[in-house]
Every structure is written in C-alpha cells, then in structure tokens.
Amino acid sequence: MATHIINNIQKAALADKTFCDLPPVVAHTLEQEAITTTYPTGAVLFAEGQAPRGVFIVRRGRVKLSICGSDGRTLILRMVEPGCPLGVAAVVSGRSYEATAETQEPSEISFLRQCDLLRLMRLHGELALWVTQHISADYASTCREIRDLILSDSATEKLARLMVGWLDQNIAAKNPSQVKLALTHEEIGQMIGTSRETVSRLFAGFKKQRLIQQSGSTLVIPNRVALESLITA
Amino acid sequence: MATHIINNIQKAALADKTFCDLPPVVAHTLEQEAITTTYPTGAVLFAEGQAPRGVFIVRRGRVKLSICGSDGRTLILRMVEPGCPLGVAAVVSGRSYEATAETQEPSEISFLRQCDLLRLMRLHGELALWVTQHISADYASTCREIRDLILSDSATEKLARLMVGWLDQNIAAKNPSQVKLALTHEEIGQMIGTSRETVSRLFAGFKKQRLIQQSGSTLVIPNRVALESLITA
DNA sequence: GTCAACCGGTGATGGAGATCACACAACGCT
DNA sequence: AGCGTTGTGTGATCTCCATCACCGGTTGAC
C-alpha cells in the first residue's frame, strides 16, 4: 500500500511493526544483521529439501509456502504476510526446509544467515523464545491445515472453510464481508487439494446460491452464517 | 537460558532425541519434578482444544496422537513411542493442545506441569534446546504427514507409504522385513484417511500380489522394492 | 494489428472409494 | 453352552470429483 521509498527512519518504523513482540534492542540488532532485498514475483526463496541457509522475514509483499508431491502436484500450505519469519524450524533443527517459499508479488524480504541467527539467539534469550513461539505457531497452523483438509472430503466444505478463514483475517477491515481475491482458481485448488475445474464449478454454484458475489477481484460474502452451515453438513 | 542452546545444536542434532539423551543432571532434575503414573489402555492424556496443563513424556507403552473432525471422523497423526514428549508445542506457546493423546496399551507416563517445565527450561539451556528440537521434529513430521496424505490420492499409495514407514522403523530389528501389527484395520484407515473396508480390500489385494504375508499379528513384507514401486506410480 | 499465454467456464465421461449391507471368526463373559 | 462384542472379508450401489476436451475472454508483447 505505501509506495514510498523506504529510508532509514521508515525502516525503523517497519522494524517496530515487524518485531513488535521483541524488545527494541533485539529488534534493532536484527535490523542491523539482516540483509533486506527486493524480489520479483515468482522468486524462490528456498525449496523443499534444501539444506537450511537461514531465515527469511517477509517485510512487504506476500510469500507462498507450499509442498509438492512426487507427481508434481502442489499443495499450498499458506500465504505468509509481512512480519512473519520463514524457515525457522529448518534453521534451528538443522533439517532441510520442509516446504518451498516463493514470492507471490514483488516483495521485500530480510535474510538472516543461520549462524547469525543462532549467534543472536545465544545473545538474546528473548529472540530464542520468539523463534520457539513461531515454530509452535507454524506447527499449530499445520495441524489446522490437516484437520481442514482430511476431515472434510467434500470439496464444497473445504472451500467454505477457506473462505471463512478469509473472513476471519478480515475482521479488522473497514468492510469485513469483502475480500480482495488475489488468487487464481488454480491456486485456490492447490490450497484445498482439488482441481481447478472443481473450484470453478463450486464458485459458480455459490454464486447461484447467493452465497458470494464477485465484482472484479473483490469477493463479497454477505452471509457468513450460510457459508458456515456448509461446513457442519 | 539461551547460553547453552546454540553451542549444542549440532551435537544434539546428531544424537538420538530421547529422554535419556539429556545431560544426566537435567534428566535427574526432570525425574525429580515429574510425576510418573501408570495409565490403562484408552486413557486420554489430553484432548484437542483443551488449555495446556503440562507435557507428558512416554516412559513405557504407546500413545496414539490424533485429531478429529466435526463429523466425528478421526485422523491418527502418529503413534508415540517411549522417550518422546507430548504437548510441548502447546505448553510453550500457551495455545490449546492441537491433538488428542490416548494410550494404546497400559503405559507409564511422566507428567510435568507447564510452569515447572518453563522454569526448568530457563534453568537448563539443554532442556530448552531439547524442547525446541522436539517441536521442530513434530513440525517436520506433520509436514511429511500432509505430503503423504494429500499428494497421493490413491489409497493404495498411501498404504504402501505407511508400510514402508514401518519397515524404516524396523531397520534395527533382528528380522527387518517382519512387522508386528498392533493396529486394527480401522486404525490403519484412520492413519491414511480411508475407510476400514478399503483397508481390508487393499490388504487382500496385497496378499494376492504376494506383497505381504500375514500370520497372526506379524506381517511379513518380503519385497520392499515392489512396495516402493507402488508409490511413484 | 496478431499472436501467445494465461485464466476462467462448462460439458461428458470414467473411476476410485465411501457407504450400506451382510456374513463369519475369535474372544471374553455369565 | 449361549451371547455380546470386536475385528474382518466382500458384494452391490452410488456419489463425488479428476480428467479430458474445448471454447471464450483478457492481458501483454512485439
């Protein structure tokens, strides 16, 4: 949204926002050590199976976190928003990255080498705690992902779940029933584990049932309760 | 707290991650603080959604970790063997338990209250490390679970994957192609996200193809490669 | 302009597996 | 013995969705 050139002052403000739960001293140190780069759309920060090099922290933009099967099919775990670190579990445990991270739009990403992160963790207990918190948050989010995907075989239900999730992220917005749809049908399919065609058909069905309206890239979901009723069914 | 963490990460990554591998001092302290109880089969240590009370460490027996959907269907995440802690992510993050833990056989379980664990983690860097390692291991295991479940729609493939996993756990045994089958078909179905009947049929098919032999509760898998060939297909 | 690439809509078809409905074996219980 | 419980084997049917195929719209490059 803010298209200003980022100078140092704004950088500091950004840091405050990004590491708000960290003491200012630690946040500042991170700011000093990390290398911030702007990536174009489609850049792969790291790929599933690679040895960990460091953590990436999204500053601006959106990053797609996905895993892919031997047959080439893809499952999108989640879209990562600014303020969130990527690859922490891999870096801390020394295991290879469990997923692939790819920018969805031009993004500004801070990179912190594994050794630097570990050194800083040694210096600042708060940082170590921060990292642990994020790993367990990722774990919880992955568990939810499994629940939503496996325990509802109907594609309708999965899509309804996804959309309710969008609404949940939107509670703070001015118009909470409007969602800006920045995903293709194909990507939505990859998020809920179905084919593109099925997503198209489901959207058509939802529109026919007046569950959603679409104008351009904004999606209006007037009746959240009706959507939720599809889930329990 | 973090002082010892970083120095020992590589070391610990190489070591087996069990209770006994903690430094003797820490292990002894844990031993002092934890309450060890014997549970009968079917005891629920904690349930999905409950506020975290503490961690449970399996000393003897086997514990089933599962999540369940609104419709009552169940997905078994994994069976937890002695030496492994349960509920660490929930305890350190303060979130509710992400899964349900239930004993599969009479088991001896140590319990450590949340506040005690956190206190001990501050006291002993190695314990904090141990906890973090386990959380990221759980995260990685959950990611693998997702990959195996979503990215292979044929139930045949999922079952083959599961069995290959059994063989992997068995490499140390005297006869590595024999697996003691301590699960019902229903439970196997819950592990791979299919119905009991499908598991029965798949077993029958595998027997017909000479991929497995079964005598009592021991399963013989003579040809691992043949089983693996079902996975890529 | 034209052409290519991508996205979205929709019909037709087929197949994998859920589900229902039994039957049967093993086991513990009274 | 009979009886319930639990696990298993298997047929018949039915539903959902993947897949193939094709078409139209939009964007963007040259």
A17 confidence band (pLDDT: 50, 70, 90): low
Look up the protein residue whose alpha carbon has the minimum distance to the C1' of C20: B197
Residue range A20-45, pLDDT digits in tens: 567 788 888 888 999 999 999 989 99
Interatomic CA–C1' length for residue A64 and nucleotide D19, angstroms: 26
What per-residue confidence (pLDDT) applies to A190?
95
Contact list, A132 vs chain B (CB under 8 Å): 92, 128, 131-132, 135
For residue B196, which nucleotide's C1' is closest to its Cα?
D8
Q: Given an 8 Å threshold on Cβ–Cβ distance, is A135 in contact with B132?
A: yes
Interatomic CA–C1' length for residue A137 and nucleotide D4, angstroms: 47
Contact list, A89 vs chain B (CB under 8 Å): 135-136, 139-140
Measured between alpha carbons, how far is A75 from A65 in angstroms, rounded to an integer?
Answer: 9
Distances (CA, A) of B71 to A147, A154, B67, B115: 11, 12, 12, 35
Which range (A46-55, A205-214, B125-134) has the least confidence?
A: B125-134
Distances (CA, A) of B156 to A70, A189, B162, B168, B230: 15, 23, 10, 18, 8
List strand C contacts in B 103-122 (CB < 7 A). Answer: none
Distances (CA, A) of B194 to B5, B146, B233: 42, 14, 19
Question: Using the CB atom, is residue A198 less than 7 Å from strand D?
Answer: yes
A4 confidence band (pLDDT: 50, 70, 90): very low
For residue B143, give the amino acid letter: C
B9 confidence band (pLDDT: 50, 70, 90): very low
Select the more confidently predicted residue: B2 or B102: B102
Whether pLDDT at B8 is above 80 = no
Work out the number of other CB atoms within 10 angstroms of the CB of residue A11: 13
Q: Given an 8 Å threshold on Cβ–Cβ distance, is B137 in contact with A99?
A: no
Look up the protein residue whose alpha carbon has the minimum distance to the C1' of D10: B201
Q: Which residue has the tokens 């109907």?
A: A154
What per-residue confidence (pLDDT) applies to B14?
36
Interatomic CA–C1' length for residue B108 and nucleotide C24, angstroms: 37
Residue range A49-96, pLDDT digits in tens: 999 999 999 999 999 999 987 777 899 999 999 989 999 999 999 999
Residue range A101-129, pLDDT digits in tens: 999 989 999 999 999 999 998 888 888 88
Measured between alpha carbons, how far is B46 from B30 in angstroms, rounded to an integer?
Answer: 20
Q: Given an 8 Å threshold on Cβ–Cβ distance, is B139 in contact with A142?
A: yes
Nearest to B147 by CA among B96, B92, B193: B193
Q: Model-level pTM? A: 0.86
Contact B211, B221 (CB under 8 A): yes
For residue B184, which nucleotide's C1' is closest to its Cα?
D7
Strand C nucleotides with an atom less than 7 Å from a protein beta carbon: 6-12, 16-21
Task: List CB contacts of B95: < 8 A, sequence separation 6 or more.
Answer: A136, A137, A140, B52, B89
Contact list, A125 vs chain B (CB under 8 Å): 1-2
Whether pLDDT at B19 is above 90 = no
Q: Which residue of A has its CA nearest to B4?
A: A122
Q: Assign 3-class secondary structure to B25-83.
A: HHHHHHHHHCEEEEECCCCEEECCCCCCCEEEEEEECCEEEEEECCCCCEEEEEEECCC
B160 confidence band (pLDDT: 50, 70, 90): very high
Q: Assign 3-class secondary structure to A8-27.
A: HHHHHHHHHHHCCCCCHHHH
Average of per-residue pLDDT values in chain B = 87
What per-residue confidence (pLDDT) applies to B10?
41
Measured between alpha carbons, how far is A157 from B23 in angstroms, rounded to an integer?
Answer: 49
Distance from CA of A10 to the nearest CA of B (A): 31
Which residue intervals of chain A are DSSP H helices? 8-18, 24-33, 88-93, 114-123, 125-150, 155-169, 185-192, 196-208, 224-232
Interatomic CA–C1' length for residue A193 and nucleotide D28, angstroms: 31
What per-residue confidence (pLDDT) applies to A123?
85
Q: Given an 8 Å threshold on Cβ–Cβ distance, is B6 in contact with A121?
A: yes
Contact A203, A185 (CB under 8 A): yes
Contact B89, B36 (CB under 8 A): no
Interatomic CA–C1' length for residue A152 and nucleotide D15, angstroms: 15
Measured between alpha carbons, how far is A122 from B46 in angstroms, rounded to an integer?
Answer: 33
Residue range B72-96, pLDDT digits in tens: 789 999 999 998 999 999 999 999 9
Q: Given an 8 Å threshold on Cβ–Cβ distance, is B132 in contact with A95?
A: no
Q: Given an 8 Å threshold on Cβ–Cβ distance, is A149 in contact with B151?
A: no
* Residue in B2, B95, B146 nearest the CB of A128: B2
Average of per-residue pLDDT values in chain A = 87
